[in-house]
């Protein structure tokens, strides 16, 4: 059995991380959430007034990139990795709307992407990793043995995010969530630097009508064929 790299890209909130996490667990691989890194940079920008009201001060953020350290640490209780920004756990905060509504503009900045991609490639150099994001199969690991491109309709995705937040006791209107999902799709797909697009050799997984077990089963089969 050889170790492989599995790249999972796709639109916002279509369940990439769920599939990626389960796949990593089944295979005994590392799971890396590349979106969490862009979210952590965005939180740094918000905290230092380098972003706000939907705007980002690109030059000011670029000038301070070397002050940002992002790590993932295992939570022994949940068995999941959590995101740390300059030594502090920011896992909860990076999932909130202020970060969600500024992360796509932050992720258009070339210097930000270069810094993140370098770190992502270093974490995958020994293979045995599942990474999800927008440019994993196209830019970060163009030679990944398995590339999956996930998608689902915006309404299905917004509904899932809505249910997820509601289960956590947070209230946000369905319309606001749908708007955020559609805004991020538009910015992520339209940007000049590493736009979200399907790699030529990626397999499509449209999960609008597939449950979690079916998705995992499908992905596991594809992975094992390549090991
Ligand atoms: O995956 P997640 O939705 O947490 O990602 C948040 C945002 O980070 C995306 O909307 C996108 O703008 C950006 N991103 C990216 N490249 C990645 C992962 C995320 O540009 N590899």
CA of 225 to the centre of ligand 1 (A): 28
Model pLDDT for residues 118-149, shown as the tens digit of each residue: 999 999 999 999 999 999 999 999 999 999 99
Model pLDDT for residues 39-76, shown as the tens digit of each residue: 999 999 999 999 999 999 999 999 999 999 999 999 99
**Please, which pLDDT band fits residue 208 given cuts at 50, 70 and 90?**
confident
* Residue with tokens 């920011």, as numbered in its chain: 90
Q: Report the CATH fold assignment for 5-225.
A: Rossmann fold (3.40.50)
**Residue set of the binding site:** 10-18
Give the per-residue pLDDT at 156. 92
Q: What percent of the chain has pLDDT over 70?
A: 100
Across the chain, the runs of DSSP E, i.e. the strands, are 5-10, 30-33, 51-52, 55-56, 70-75, 80-85, 88-89, 129-133, 146-151, 203-206
Instruction: For a ligand 1 pocket test, name from 34, 97, 109 the mutation site with the most ligand atoms within 8 angstroms of its C-beta.
Output: 34
Mean pLDDT value across the chain: 95
**Please, which pLDDT band fits residue 12 given cuts at 50, 70 and 90?**
confident
Give the per-residue pLDDT at 189. 95
The pTM for the full model equals 0.94
What number does the ligand 1 atom closest to the CA of 120 have?
Answer: 21
């Amino acid at each position: 059995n050889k170790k492989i790299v599995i790249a999972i890209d796709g639109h916002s909130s279509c369940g990439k991380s769920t599939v990626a996490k389960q796949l990593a667990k089944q295979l005994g691989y590392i799971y890396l959430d590349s979106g969490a890194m862009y979210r952590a940079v965005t939180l740094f920008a918000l905290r230092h007034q380098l972003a706000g009201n939907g705007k980002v001060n690109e030059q000011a953020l670029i000038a301070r990139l070397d002050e940002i350290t992002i790590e993932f640490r295992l939570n022994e209780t949940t068995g999941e990795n959590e995101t740390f920004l300059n030594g502090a756990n920011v896992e909860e905060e990076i999932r909130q709307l202020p970060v969600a509504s500024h992360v796509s503009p932050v992720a258009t900045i070339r210097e930000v992407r270069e810094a993140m991609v370098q770190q992502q490639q270093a974490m995958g150099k020994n293979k045995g990793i599942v990474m999800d994001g927008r440019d994993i199969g196209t830019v970060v690991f163009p030679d990944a043995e398995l590339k999956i491109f996930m998608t689902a309709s915006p309404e299905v995705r917004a509904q899932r995010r809505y249910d997820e937040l509601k289960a956590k006791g947070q209230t946000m209107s369905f319309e606001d969530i749908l708007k955020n999902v559609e805004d991020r799709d538009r910015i992520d797909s339209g940007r000049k630097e590493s736009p979200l697009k399907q790699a030529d050799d990626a397999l499509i997984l449209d999960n609008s009508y597939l449950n979690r077990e079916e998705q995992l089963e499908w992905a596991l089969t594809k992975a094992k064929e390549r090991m």
